[in-house]
Amino acid sequence: MTTTCPLPPPPSERILLAHGGGGKLTQQLLDRVFGPAFANPLLDERHDGACFTVPAGRLAVTTDSHVVRPLFFPGGNIGSLAVHGTVNDLAMCGARPLYLTCGFILEEGLELAALHRVVAAMRDAARACGVAIITGDTKVVDQGKGDGVFINTTGLGVIEHAQLIGPRRVAPGDAILLSGDVGRHGMAIMAEREGLQFESAIESDCAPVHEPVLALFAAGVTVHCLRDLTRGGLAAAANEIAAVAGLKMALDQNAIPVREDVHAACETLGLNPLQVANEGRFVAFVPAAEADRALAVLRNFPVSAEATRIGTVTERAAPLVTLRTTLGVNRILDVPSGEQLPRIC
Amino acid sequence: MTTTCPLPPPPSERILLAHGGGGKLTQQLLDRVFGPAFANPLLDERHDGACFTVPAGRLAVTTDSHVVRPLFFPGGNIGSLAVHGTVNDLAMCGARPLYLTCGFILEEGLELAALHRVVAAMRDAARACGVAIITGDTKVVDQGKGDGVFINTTGLGVIEHAQLIGPRRVAPGDAILLSGDVGRHGMAIMAEREGLQFESAIESDCAPVHEPVLALFAAGVTVHCLRDLTRGGLAAAANEIAAVAGLKMALDQNAIPVREDVHAACETLGLNPLQVANEGRFVAFVPAAEADRALAVLRNFPVSAEATRIGTVTERAAPLVTLRTTLGVNRILDVPSGEQLPRIC
């Protein structure tokens, strides 16, 4: 044993199966880790769930489990991702995020210090987004039956405008707006996981996007559909919406921002940046006549300062997404058919 | 290769990492498995979440991840458990269950046939409970980093009465009512997992309890607190409530129904049936004067036909749960300090 090979933390500082048993150690986790970090009046009731009052109107609910590997990556970690991911899904429903629930699946042997870091990141991200984590659950699985931490966050938000948004509202002629450059989250994870060295470190774009989205509604912009560009990236989002809506859309590769280092990393790995996951990017489908006004609103916020128009919905037809490439050729932009980047979120 | 050693299903019939990649195989899962089973107008929107209208008033939200091993056990499986568990947590908030979200974490290599069985059980359980699964998420983790299927269900319910319930409302003098016999779920899992043979098969008590609970409110019974007896069983539930409320309670072992076979199985394994998990049992804290009326209501429902009074809240004091044993001796009923039955739910 030398100073370069410190003793591992004592067993009491690692997650044991009993932390999920509903007994004293479960209680300790609540008292020492989750309770202090997430404290709020609803959570502090220590009931089987959280009870609260809502005004009459529309709500949105969304759920995501997070299994990203590694747990910590440039620009974020599984905790901030779990908050931003669900906040963003609520925003994509046009809702103001209010509450999150949080379900942890911990692997026996996880260092408590790592859990503390993750929980602190969740606390900070939730505060920054103005959401409260109001109820939760912790399970522990045997070593080798999990992978450190999995986190489910389910979000509840309130819809404060009268617009109906969703894939089925997208119409021919709609402008397709993109909130910023694409491909960073996926490449940041990939670089970290595979130990790849690029000239500059690529940081995840992991960030909440509810503020620019809510500003669109506040400004009275007509919004037909919103979609964040997570798994499968821009390509999957565009194709899913085309499929549900039954229409064609044409994108212009020259208009889609991809950072030089992300482009180079994708080239090296044979990946298409339009198919790579993002965690702070979205597309908005708006009537063409409102596109400029929408872009002006989006550009007021750092997270969407580079918002730009990348394409147009062309016609009701068999679903198809085409891309006019940098060479001026039109080709089909398809969804990834296999798995290019597992466990990206 | 003989007929007793059939070929494993082809790779296309097992879960691949790409089923979680957001591409074509993810879409296939939605189209062929989740979509048809859970079909309802909110889910069918295929949006990033579900949007719906609520009247002004109180809602309850609760979340649970389910990691039970084995996936299938006498009396239920992880799918029915995931629905009943969250429906029951909503009931414990005094809420009528309305909606569930569903987050799957699948292990690469899982047989699609097993997933189909789990999803069918969720569909059937949700229908029987009158709840809709309105949005979901699927992730896939590498083989050896999960354990078949983990399921998070988050529930949303509406509180249709004016009572405030929760541990802090429990008061000295309250009667403690138990909805039925205890210990069956834990022993059913244990027997299945360890291959134990008892004289008769012990079936889990896994069942929804929202109907008798809502009937209490409909009958105008004053309810101070409700708690289902999952991990840690009756002992953990009573101690948690005593701790949050800051009071003492006295239970009578003679009044607590434990089936003969469950009792024998617990004896064999050195377990205390009062510390064993249930999935269809709850305690209700009501003013003593209303205990008989509450029991009469509960006994109208098969799931709580054996409801009975098992004890009394005695005084505001340092939290303590005592048990008058069958031998007439008073002893402390503590929560399990270690892990007696990992991954029970």
φ, ψ dihedrals at A92, nearest 5° = -65, -20
Residue B342 has pLDDT above 90, yes or no: no
B contacts of A17 (beta carbons < 8 Å): 339, 342-343
Classified as helix, coil or strand, A225 is strand
8 A C-beta contact, residue A244 and residue B46: yes
Q: How many CB pairs under 8 A join A and B?
A: 297
Dump pLDDT digits (tens) for A299-324.
999 999 999 999 999 999 999 999 99
B212 vs B28: which has the higher pLDDT: B212
Fold classification of A167-332 is: Phosphoribosyl-aminoimidazole Synthetase; Chain A, domain 2 (3.90.650)
Residue A31 has pLDDT above 70, yes or no: yes
CB contact under 8 A, A92 and B227: no
Parallel, antiparallel, or unpaired: how do β-strands A149-159 and A282-286 relate?
unpaired
Q: How far is B172 from B82, CA to CA, in rounded Å?
A: 34
8 A C-beta contact, residue B130 and residue A57: no
pLDDT at A1: 33
B268 vs B140: which has the higher pLDDT: B140
**Residue B193 — pLDDT band, cuts 50, 70, 90?**
confident
Residue from A45, A53, A63, A101 to probe the interface with B (highest B Cβ count within 10 Å) = A63
CB contact under 8 A, B60 and A49: yes
Residue A38 has pLDDT above 90, yes or no: yes
Dump pLDDT digits (tens) for B95-126.
999 999 999 999 999 999 999 999 999 999 99
8 A C-beta contact, residue B93 and residue A52: no
**Residue B8 — pLDDT band, cuts 50, 70, 90?**
very low
Most confident of A5-9, A12-16, A291-295, B326-330: A291-295
CB contact under 8 A, B103 and A52: no
User: Nearest to residue A9, comparing CAs of A146, A142, A115?
Assistant: A115
Instruction: Look up the pTM and report it.
Output: 0.94
Q: Work out the average pLDDT over B3-21.
A: 67
Tokens coding B48: 């990033």
Q: How far is A274 from A233, CA to CA, in rounded Å?
A: 6
pLDDT at B12: 60
Q: How far is A223 from B190, CA to CA, in rounded Å?
A: 53
What is the DSSP secondary structure assignment for residue B111, as one 8-state letter?
A: B
Burial of B297 (0-12, 13-18, 19+ CB in 10 A): buried
CB contact under 8 A, B339 and A16: yes
pLDDT mean across residues, chain A: 93
Domain boundaries, chain A: 17-159, 167-332
**Residue A46 — pLDDT band, cuts 50, 70, 90?**
confident
A10 vs B139: which has the higher pLDDT: B139
Which range has the worst mean pLDDT, A14-28, A127-141, B58-72, B219-233? Answer: A14-28
Using CA atoms in the order B274, B277, B278, B282, what is the torsion angle rounded to 10 degrees?
60
Q: Work out the average pLDDT over B74-80.
A: 97
Using CA atoms in the order B280, B119, B21, B9, what is the torsion angle rounded to 10 degrees?
120
pLDDT at A12: 61
pLDDT at A217: 98
Q: How far is B139 from B120, CA to CA, in rounded Å?
A: 19
Q: How far is B232 from A46, CA to CA, in rounded Å?
A: 16
Residue with the two structure tokens 């260092």: A111
pLDDT at B148: 97
Dump pLDDT digits (tens) for B202-244.
999 999 999 999 999 999 999 999 999 999 999 999 999 999 9
pLDDT at A33: 94
CATH 3.30.1330.10 correct for A17-159: yes
